Structures are given as C-alpha cells and as structure tokens.
Structure 1
C-alpha cells in the first residue's frame, strides 16, 4: 500500500551579514501522525532593523513544528495551523510589548513565515510576509504565495504583514491536489531575488538524489550573484502519494477477524455475553461483562449482511476512534480495555436507561421546561463534536439515551464526519447520511454537504417532535431534489398542534428549521440562548402572515371569502331586478 513520502532538502547561510536571522525546519512524522497531520516544512525570515528578530524566527519555526502536531487529530490543517500561528503571533507581540521596542515595532520580535503541509493527497500553504513559495515547472517557476509588502515608491517599501507586529494577524491559506514528482521551493528574499528556475533545474540535475546539496548549491549561487542578505532555500519533492481515503483505520481493521454470532453466556475476546440489547441491519449490540474489570459494557459487532463491505467496516471502527477523542458528559464514552483484541468489535459504556424515542412514547405531551432541559444536554454533546470539527450527522431519537439519573447522552457515531480525516480524500465534505432521513437537513438532499447548522436542524426537528408528536415539515424534506424545491417547504407552527405553547417558541424553531442553513442560528449556543431567554427577539416581531403560517388555511379562507362575495353580488343583482 502506498503512503505519503516526500524528499526534503534545506540550507541556510548568514551570507555577508554577521547574524543569520533566517530559520527553517521540517517535520516528517511516522504513522499515525503521518496520516492525521501530514508532513510540515516551514521557513521564517527576521527583519534587519531588529536585533532580536532571529529569536522570533527560531521561535516561530520551532513553535509551529512542535505545536501543530499537538492539535486535535480531528481538526483540518487550516484550523490547526491557524490556531498555532495565532498563538505564536500573540506570544511574539507580547515579547515586544515587554521590551524596549514596544514603541518601535521594527525593533521587536517580528518575522515573516511560510510553510507547506503535505497531508493525504493535498498540499496546504500557510503564509505571512514576503518570503516566497514556488512550484517548479519545466521552463519556469510559479509563485504560489503573495508578497505582503507595501510599495511606497520604486526604492521604498515596507512589510504590510508579519508575525508579531500586532495582537492579531491575517494568515493566507491555500490548498490543492498534489502530484507525484512535483518540486516546491521555499526561499527568503535574500535567495529568490537572485535565483530563477534555470538555477533550480541545474541544482537538481547535479544533485538529483541529495536535496540538501541542491539547496546548498542554490544558496551559493545567490551569494555569487550578489545577495547581501541572509540566504535560505528549502526544496521539497513529492515522491509518493497515498491511496485515496487511506487512514490508519484500514490497517487496524485488516488485523482483526470478523466475530462469530454472539450468544448469551458465550466467552468472547475477554467478555462474557449477557444478552442482546439491540439488532438492526447495520449492527448488533449485546450487553457483556468485561471479565477482567467486571464492568458492564455495550458490545457492538458488525452486521452479518455488510461484512463484505470494507467501507462499512472502516466506518464501524470509526465509532470507537471518535469516542476516544471526545470527553463530554453528554457523549457516549468508549470502554477502556487494557488488552489487544482478536475480533472486530467496539466496546462502549453501558447506559442503564432508555432511548429518547421510548421517552417520547412514554411522555407524549411534555412541558416546555422538561423538553428544554433534554435539548440543552443534547446541544452540549453536539458542541463537543463541533469543537473538534466533527458532525454527528445522524441525530435522531433512537441515537439519544437517557439514563436513570436523567443524564442525556448522544450515541452511535458510525455516520460522524471528521474533517481532519476526510481532508485530502475522495470525499472531503460531509455527505448525505445513511439511515433514517426524516431528521436530516435539506442541504444533504441537495448534495450541498453538511455543516454544524445541519446538526442544529436535526436537533430542532427532535425538539419540535417532542413538543408536538409530529415532524415540522412532515416528509417533505426527504423529497427535495433541487434548490427550487426548497420553496415548497412549509413550516407547520407547533402552536397549531399544541395551542398552549408560548407564541415565541415558533419563532425560535422556525429559524432553526429554516430550509437554508445560512439563515439558521449561527451556532448551537445561540439556539440555546434563544430558548433560555424565551425568544425575546421573536416576541416583538410582526405577526407572521397566515399565508406563511398555514397556506392551506389561507387559500381556504380566501376561497370562502370570494364565494361569499359572489353570492352577495348575485343577491344584490336579483334584488335590483
């Protein structure tokens, strides 16, 4: 199986200056970080007016290469890199504010920064300042980064953007598909102003198998051509790319045997099977006892009918992978087994309780406060997913459990979309979930991909159903095929089904259930705020016209009015004769 593999060469020299204010570095991790975070190459260039700029350059490169690999595996490259660079920028700016340079930023802890990150089959560019990143072509080189330099005149210019200048910084980010054999060049201005693609091709021809030597040759060329600045060059060649959708879950799955049918009192992989809890076309769940710890667990095994589907089996293992990366009171936890396993199964905490679907059957007309308490707990669980750039995508009453203490937990992560894992694969965006679709947001049916607003829509559908026993759009959403179909969706007010509900509740739910994701609340926290403040912003709004609230009743009323008018006119005409 092919993996991501690149060759890196780098060289830096102070040149004719006493101090080298450039700094460079690269990180080539092994699995699993190679798959989850990728390979990073970074370069920083200090400014000549600062006596401490070389400290800033070294801190930027060291800090980035260390901290980037400490970010969550579930995050995308962009989020991880920009979070790290924002923190580094704040630290550098704070150092300047504590120093004698606080009134003259040009003497502070300031540097440019450029980086390439290779993850999966994608290349990501991060850039601040006027160092440059190029891609080499047979007859030329293509500049991929933008120079953040302000030109005052033909002889005067200054940096418009750099790390450490202010408390915040704007960071350029681009990404594209990588190709085997591509060569990228990262260079400071002391190098690229004196080099061209011909020089790079010559260096690669002489040192085809030694990119460090090729980089050193380019540095020597720049100095020979008159560079009086620090000179740094990094070369990166893409040697091999991974197969599409390659993840470490593939390897783990292939090392595990498919489990036999489980029966009560059966000993299985260190567990004693007690009884079956649940069975569906996609999985089987049994109550079991861990024979080492004595704890009860919910043991999940793949469906017999899908055992020949490798994509399904990979997603089956994803459930445990996701659970191990979320620590939240309202998200199902994995069982901490301290031994290797032979068979493909997932062991999760056992919840002694019932599903929200059963609760809704037992309590068909709950009061609003009770519903709010349950929805708030589900929202907190969803926020834990969203903070890690995950979407649950299959939120429905059957996938929410309530234990005997009243704690609500989200379960079943087989449909979860993990942005950090999907990045650089065949399907990087959230796709339509598999399963019951009446809780799915309209954008899934239009092929637009999901977002946190899609999980919000599902939560609002559940809340609406808890209050009314019905769905807000019936089954209209599942019939959507084109954006034009969205116009046909008509929200049925909850108060039509339960008149005792407060008027503002429909304002809150109507927004959360808007067919267009951009018009819903911006985050789950805003939705919960609306519910806890009794929807104050919705109470002062003009009454919603009957045509929007209930188009059927509007047209019935209009028809009746027209019929009465016709009868009145006929009566007047007859009276006149």
Structure 2
C-alpha cells in the first residue's frame, strides 16, 4: 500500500491551581490490521469540581473507551461500537454513585465529561457529552466541533446538563466529518479554552513544527497565566497521512496467494483429497473434499476462473471467509478452522449433508403451514446473527439455504453481504448496489437506495410465500419497477387465492413483511416471525368474516326477523 493512516499527537495536562488533577486523557494508535479496521482513538475527560471522586470517573471513562472500543467487533460501525462502550461506562459510573454515600447527590458522585474521537480511514467520528471541547484547525480557522452541554441560570452561573454517570440514560452527540491531510484537532477542557484565546492557540499551533507536546504545554501555560483556577488539559492531533491505495495495489494484496489449479476428483490439493465437484457457476467452483489429517469431509470453494481479474469480485470472495469467522450461529454456514498454511487462494467450510431449499421445494410442492413456519423461523435466526453484527445478507434466496439431514436450516452464501464496519474503510473498488437475485431482492435496491434489515425481511417473506404457493407475491414485476410510483402500483397476490386453508392473518403477516415500501414492513424481524404463529389482532379485526360466512343460520334468522317486522309494519298501516 502506498500509504496508511498516520497522526502526530501532542499532550499536556496539569492540576493548575487545584490540589489534584481531575482530568484524564489518552490516545491509542494500533498496529495493522486494526489500524485499518478500527482506526485510532483519542479521548479527554474532565471531572466535575464538586466531586471528590470524579477523577476516578475521568480515568475510568478514558481507559474504558480506549480499551473496550478495540475489543468490539470489526463488523460493527464506529458509531455502534463507541455507543455500546460509552453506554456501558455510563451504567458503571452511575451504579458506582448509587452504591456510594453520594447516592442522593449526583454532583458529588462519579461524574465526568467526555470528548472522544475515532479517525478511521478518511473520516473523523466525534462523540461528546459535557463541556470539554474539540476544535478543528484548518487554513488558520479554528472551528468548534462540539456543543457545550451547560444550562445557564444567569450570566455568571451555569451547571452541566449532560455528563457521563449523571443519569442512567445517556444521550451522546455524534458527528462524522471527512478528514483532510494536514487537519489539526484540538481537545481542551474548560480550564483551558475559557482563558487561552483562539488567536494565541492558532498562532502557537502554526509555529509548532514537529514538537506538538511543547505546543500543548505552551497553551496550558497561557491559560494558567491568564488566571485559570481549574485543571488544564490539551491534546493536539495532526493528520499526517491518510490511507490511499490504487486498485492495482489492492488487487495485488488480495491475490498474494496464487489461484488454485482446476480441481478434479481424486486429486491431492494442499492437504485435501478432492472427492467431486458439487457446484460450478460464474461466481465460484465448489468441491467436496476430505481433509487428509482428520478424514473429515469439507467443502472447498475456489474463485471463478472467469472473474479472477476482477478486484471487486475477489474482495467479495475473501470477505465470505471473514464474515463466516465472525458469526457463530447454528443456522449459518460454519468455516473450518485453519490449522495449516494455505498455498492457494480458496475457502474451506463445513460440509452440509442435505439439499438446498430450491430442491426441497421441488420435492415438497405442497408443504403444510407448520413445516413452512419451522423453516422460516430457522432462517430468521440465522439472519438475526447477521443483523446483530450490522451485516446485511442482501442475497437471501432458496439456492443459498441448505437443509441438512436432521432438518437444520443454514444460510450458506455470503458473497453479497454488506458489512457496516467494512463499508467505512476506504477502497477504490466499486461495489455494486444490487448483488442479489432479482426475484428476491427488496424493491428499494432498484431505486438505488441502501438496504436495511427490512430488506432481508422482504427476501425472507418472499421465500415463505413461495414455499406455500410455488409462486412469487409480485411475479417478476419488482425488478421492472425503477421508480416509487411504479412500485406503488405493485399488486400483492393473496395467498388465499392459491390455498384457502391458509389463515387470513398469516397472509396479512406475509403481505406486510413483503410490502414494497420498507417503512410499511415490520420494524423488526422478530415481529414478523411472531405474527406467523400468533394472530395479530389488527389483522383479525380487518379480516373478520361476514356473518353470512361465519354463521349462515344466524344470518338468515336475522334477515327473516327483519322481513317479518317490515310486513307487520306494512299491515298495520
């Protein structure tokens, strides 16, 4: 790679005119591969003056953030990772106060402000709660990037309205900004920025040269000389380099291992014996093999011969193995542990002794509703494992679902999966928006929109519909609709036209999950699965049968009674 993320840091913290320093700060710059997958992290915390234990809160907040963020899943976005970490820190600090002698006086508890930043790839993610500040210096312009969470009672009196540990609920400000080479970020506590003027700060940083620590100390000294009575902490972060790689460089990194030869039955290959070819397509070649050390049956997947010169395809191919190793779920294909060095580019997974859902539907053209529910529920469990890691499968279809000899259902293909944490990384490789199979792809993809968990729900509902009817809810019309107006005209074919034994409320559950508008589908996959088994009262009220169908005898008795009344009235007149 021609370059990678690189920053320079200068820091200074002093107790100033106070007895102890209640501020705490830190920076963590990991090595590769975490430098690319997680970025660098900077944090500054300021304890509240009214508390004797807030310095403990500051240290816990910063160290917890810097340690725990890098332990979160690489599949998660920066926002999700940091929010999970800070919510956990807030809960711990709040609990410490509730268990201490300050339980009824939060102003003396484990409370602190926190301003943190993660620079990943070419984006700076800012997280903030309290009144410490983050500035950006660009072209001699010092811009404040955070808002002070202070409530002013009078011109001279204010108090913190938000801080870590102050309440059981935490509201965190988040902002994502593009980063340019040469950008400088300044972190400062109120003891500094209220006394060191912006002109002095800009001038000091402009003259800093390579020694940012001395510049940070100069700013702290200036605030002290101007009469600051608080603790004094400054961090200066200068972006020296940003990751940038050409498509050719990335292609080379993806193909450091040579491509495997064409594999044939009984061939010895890299410690495996090839048994037979299982499947071949334009995307990959799949073989059944035996691992010679254990005699265990495995599946070997090799890149398509026709696409070996396509960097985007190779990236997706290698991502499949990465994704599989981060999902541990009984309903998702399991990769085989890598116990030996590989000499070629390929992926090894468990062998599933069974059939695809496509073949199962051919063998079972009229399955009962309970069997369909069971299969859909297992697929949903696998999908939820993806969604918990901020992954979207994006190509859920019967050919990508296996049912083994025990009846266990597994999702087997991850070539189109979208990973939030990976999307944040810079890459010159173009990623196609529509990678799935058109018949099962959610309508929003055809409008050029990004998918969501509801997009995978749409695909699952189409599969459920197909298992019950052998058809698709909108036929082949979805892929033809490239505007919202066209999608609004899509007509759902009711399940009950095909099978009168299907309860109307089950039909309505599938209809809702397969709605062309993602915002009119269920909010969560679990709601759809629940409604497939439990009649939703809203559906029952809407689909209640007329009295003539529910109780014909009562209907005709009522009609006869009304006619008799009419006759009596007419005779009396």
Report the TM-score range of the alignment, normalised by the length of the smaller protein: over 0.9
Alignment pair present for 1:86 and 2:87: yes
1:463 counterpart residue number:
464
Structural mapping, 1:404-415, within 5 Å: 404-415=405-416
- Alpha-carbon deviation of 1:535? 3.6
Distance 2:401 2:385 in 1: 15
2:558 counterpart residue number:
none
| Equivalenced residues, count | 545
Distance 1:126 1:313 in 2: 35
Structural mapping, 1:5-44, within 5 Å: 5-44=6-45
Query: What secondary structure, in the 3-state scheme, does the structure 2 residue paired with 1:320 have?
Result: helix
Structural mapping, 1:501-512, within 5 Å: 501-512=502-513
The answer to whether the Cα contact below 8 Å between 2:255 and 2:345 also exists between their aligned partners in 1 is no
Structural mapping, 1:120-519, within 5 Å: 120-243=121-244, 253-425=254-426, 432-519=433-520
Worse overlay, 344-353 or 493-502: 493-502
Distance 1:443 1:331 in 2: 25
Distance 1:274 1:540 in 2: 57
- Alpha-carbon deviation of 1:174? 0.6
Query: What secondary structure, in the 3-state scheme, does the structure 2 residue paired with 1:82 have?
Result: helix
- Alpha-carbon deviation of 1:446? 0.3
- Alpha-carbon deviation of 1:214? 1.4
The answer to whether the Cα contact below 8 Å between 1:357 and 1:398 also exists between their aligned partners in 2 is yes
Which consecutive unaligned segments of at least 5 residues does structure 1 have?
546-577
Distance 2:428 2:171 in 1: 28
- Alpha-carbon deviation of 1:481? 1.1
TM-score, normalised to structure 1, is: 0.92
- Alpha-carbon deviation of 1:435? 4.6
2:541 counterpart residue number:
540
Distance 1:249 1:172 in 2: 35
Query: What secondary structure, in the 3-state scheme, does the structure 2 residue paired with 1:70 have?
Result: coil
Query: What secondary structure, in the 3-state scheme, does the structure 2 residue paired with 1:3 have?
Result: coil
- Alpha-carbon deviation of 1:120? 1.1
Which consecutive unaligned segments of at least 5 residues does structure 2 have?
547-573
1:528 counterpart residue number:
529
Distance 1:223 1:54 in 2: 20
Give the direction of change, closer, same or farther, for the CA distance of 1:68–1:224 in structure 2 (3 Å limit).
Answer: same
Distance 2:222 2:378 in 1: 64
The answer to whether the Cα contact below 8 Å between 2:505 and 2:543 also exists between their aligned partners in 1 is no
- Alpha-carbon deviation of 1:537? 3.3
- Alpha-carbon deviation of 1:543? 6.5
Worse overlay, 186-195 or 398-407: 186-195
Give the direction of change, closer, same or farther, for the CA distance of 1:543–1:448 in structure 2 (3 Å limit).
Answer: farther
Distance 2:485 2:441 in 1: 18
Distance 2:428 2:465 in 1: 32
The answer to whether the Cα contact below 8 Å between 1:36 and 1:73 also exists between their aligned partners in 2 is yes
Distance 2:436 2:79 in 1: 31
In angstroms, what is the RMSD of aligned CA positions? Answer: 2.0
Deviations 1:52-89 (A, max 9, x none): 00000000000110111111110001000001000000
Give the direction of change, closer, same or farther, for the CA distance of 1:121–1:274 in structure 2 (3 Å limit).
Answer: same
Query: What secondary structure, in the 3-state scheme, does the structure 1 residue paired with 2:530 have?
Result: helix
Deviations 1:483-515 (A, max 9, x none): 221111111101111122111111101110111
1:565 counterpart residue number:
none
Worse overlay, 126-135 or 526-535: 526-535
Query: What secondary structure, in the 3-state scheme, does the structure 2 residue paired with 1:339 have?
Result: coil
Distance 2:246 2:512 in 1: 36
1:561 counterpart residue number:
none
TM-score, normalised to structure 2, is: 0.92
- Alpha-carbon deviation of 1:140? 2.9
Distance 1:310 1:267 in 2: 28
Worse overlay, 201-210 or 307-316: 201-210
Query: What secondary structure, in the 3-state scheme, does the structure 1 residue paired with 2:542 have?
Result: coil
The answer to whether the Cα contact below 8 Å between 2:372 and 2:468 also exists between their aligned partners in 1 is yes
- Alpha-carbon deviation of 1:427? 9.3
Distance 1:251 1:165 in 2: 51
Distance 2:403 2:245 in 1: 39
Worse overlay, 170-179 or 205-214: 205-214
The answer to whether the Cα contact below 8 Å between 2:506 and 2:531 also exists between their aligned partners in 1 is no
Give the direction of change, closer, same or farther, for the CA distance of 1:358–1:476 in structure 2 (3 Å limit).
Answer: same
